[in-house]
Amino acid sequence: MAEIKRPDKMIKDKNEDKIKYSNFPLTRINFILMAVCGAMIVIGFLLMLGGSNEIDHFNAEMFSTQRIVVGPTISFLGFLGMAFAIIYKKKEK
């Protein structure tokens, strides 16, 4: 039967009793940044939502600054931030 192996490199801090696994590519800060950027993306899409035109009535809100400029900008910044959050690596001292 095959044995289950633990990660190769287990580093024990001199100052702490916690064991750090150096094989994990993403850390806690990466996940926090990704959650913030995901929320920005969702907020941007929610800002782009709204009522549409009806057959009998023209809705001028369809061309508001919030729906054309602000919402897409926040979503785009969220997508850029998501790329940064994935590749971000904290500098070791």
Give 32-63 pLDDT, tens digit per residue: 999 999 999 999 999 999 777 777 787 778 88
- Give the type of residue at 55: I
Q: Report the C-alpha gap between 70 and 48 in whole angstroms.
A: 8
Question: Any idea where the domains of the chain sit in the sequence?
Answer: 26-87
Contact (Cβ atoms closer than 8 angstroms) between residue 86 and residue 26: yes
Q: Report the C-alpha gap between 26 and 88 in whole angstroms.
A: 9
Contact (Cβ atoms closer than 8 angstroms) between residue 13 and residue 2: no
Give 11-32 pLDDT, tens digit per residue: 555 555 555 555 778 889 999 9
Residues linked to residue 88 through DSSP beta bridges, in sequence order? none
Is the model's pTM score more than 0.85? no
> pLDDT category, 91, cuts 50, 70, 90?
confident
